[in-house]
A and B are shown apart, each in its own frame.
Chain A
Amino acid sequence: MRTAWRILVVDDEPVMCESLAAWLREDGYHVDTAASGREALELSRSTEYAISFVDLKMPGGIDGIETMMELKKLQPEASVVIITAYATVDTAITAMKEGAQEYIVKPCNPQEISLLVSRIIKVKHLERENQILRRRLTGRYRFHDLLSKSPRMQEVFQLVRDVARLRSTVLIQGESGTGKELVARALHFSGDRAGKPFVGVSCAALAETLLESELFGHEKGAFTGAVSQRKGKFELADGGTIFLDEIGDISAKLQMDLLRVLQERRFYRVGGAEEISVDVRVVAATHVDLAAAVREGRFRDDLYYRLNVVAVHIPPLRERREDVPLLARTFLERTARELGKEVDDLSEDALRLLMDHPWPGNVRELENAIERALVTSRGAVLTADDFAFLRVPAGNGTGWTVPTHLPLHEVEHQVIAATLKRLDGNVKETAAVLGIDRSTLYEKLRKYGIER
Chain B
Amino acid sequence: MNGVLVVGMGAVDPDLVDEAAAAAALWGPPIERIPPLPEPEGARDAGRGQWAAAPFLKNLNAALPAGALRILGVTERDLFVPVLSFVFGQAQMEGPAAVVSLARLRPEFYGLPPDPPLLRARARKEAVHEVGHTFGLVHCPHESCPMSLSVGVWQVDRKGEAPCRSCAALARGRAERARRR
B and A form one assembly: yes
Interface residues of A (CB under 8 A from B): 3, 13, 15-16, 19-20, 22-23, 25-28, 83, 106-111, 113-114
Contacts of A28 in B (CB 8 A): 138-139
The residue that A107 contacts in the complex, of B54, B84, B90, with Cβ under 8 A, is B84
Give the complex CA separation of A114 and B141 in angstroms: 13
- Minimum distance in angstroms from B157 CB to a CB of chain A: 15
Give the complex CA separation of A26 and B53 in angstroms: 15
Contacts of B149 in A (CB 8 A): 26-27, 114
Contacts of A110 in B (CB 8 A): 84-87, 151
B123-167 near A? 1/0 per residue, CB < 8 Å: 000000000010000110000000001011000000000000000
Give the complex CA separation of A243 and B124 in angstroms: 79
| Contact indicator A19/B138 (Cβ below 8 Å) | no
Question: Across the two chains, which residue of chain A brings its CB closest to B147?
Answer: A26
Is B181 an interface residue when CB atoms closer than 8 A count as contact?
no
| Interface hub of A15, A19, A20 (most chain B Cβ within 10 A) | A19
The residue that B81 contacts in the complex, of A22, A25, A27, A83, with Cβ under 8 A, is A22
Question: Across the two chains, which residue of chain A brings its CB closest to B85?
Answer: A107
| Contact indicator B54/A26 (Cβ below 8 Å) | no
| Contact indicator B84/A19 (Cβ below 8 Å) | yes
| Contact indicator B91/A111 (Cβ below 8 Å) | no
Given A25-B93, A26-B93, A114-B151, decide whether A107 and B138 contact each other with a Cβ distance below 8 A: no
The residue that B82 contacts in the complex, of A3, A106, A109, with Cβ under 8 A, is A106
| Interface hub of B54, B86, B139 (most chain A Cβ within 10 A) | B139
- Minimum distance in angstroms from A33 CB to a CB of chain B: 12
Give the complex CA separation of A83 and B82 in angstroms: 12
Chain B interface, DSSP helix/strand/loop, else mixed: loop
Question: Across the two chains, which residue of chain B brings its CB closest to A17?
Answer: B83
In addition to A25-B138, A26-B91, A27-B139, 6 A-B residue pairs with Cβ atoms within 8 Å of each other are A22-B81, A23-B84, A26-B93, A28-B138, A107-B48, A114-B149
Interface residues of B (CB under 8 A from A): 48, 54, 80-87, 90-91, 93, 133, 138-139, 149, 151-152
The 8 closest A-B pairs by CB, nearest first: A28-B138, A19-B81, A111-B151, A110-B151, A20-B83, A107-B85, A15-B82, A19-B83
Contacts of A111 in B (CB 8 A): 151-152
Contacts of A23 in B (CB 8 A): 81, 83-84, 87
Contacts of B80 in A (CB 8 A): 107
Contacts of A109 in B (CB 8 A): 84-85, 151
| Contact indicator B82/A107 (Cβ below 8 Å) | yes
Give the complex CA separation of A27 and B91 in angstroms: 12
Q: List 5 A-B contacts (CB under 8 A).
A: A22-B93, A23-B87, A25-B93, A107-B85, A109-B151
- Minimum distance in angstroms from A434 CB to a CB of chain B: 66
The residue that A16 contacts in the complex, of B82, B90, B91, B93, with Cβ under 8 A, is B82
The residue that A15 contacts in the complex, of B54, B85, B87, B151, with Cβ under 8 A, is B54
Give the complex CA separation of A113 and B149 in angstroms: 12
Question: Across the two chains, which residue of chain A brings its CB closest to B48?
Answer: A107
Give the complex CA separation of A106 and B47 in angstroms: 14
Give the complex CA separation of A28 and B133 in angstroms: 10
| Contact indicator B85/A108 (Cβ below 8 Å) | yes
Contacts of B81 in A (CB 8 A): 19, 22-23
Contacts of B84 in A (CB 8 A): 19-20, 23, 107-110, 113
| Contact indicator A27/B138 (Cβ below 8 Å) | yes
Contacts of A27 in B (CB 8 A): 138-139, 149
| Contact indicator B83/A107 (Cβ below 8 Å) | yes
The residue that A19 contacts in the complex, of B82, B91, B139, with Cβ under 8 A, is B82
Contacts of A19 in B (CB 8 A): 54, 81-84
Contacts of B86 in A (CB 8 A): 110
Contacts of B83 in A (CB 8 A): 16, 19-20, 23, 83, 106-108
Contacts of B82 in A (CB 8 A): 13, 15-16, 19, 106-107
- Minimum distance in angstroms from B60 CB to a CB of chain A: 15
| Contact indicator A26/B85 (Cβ below 8 Å) | no
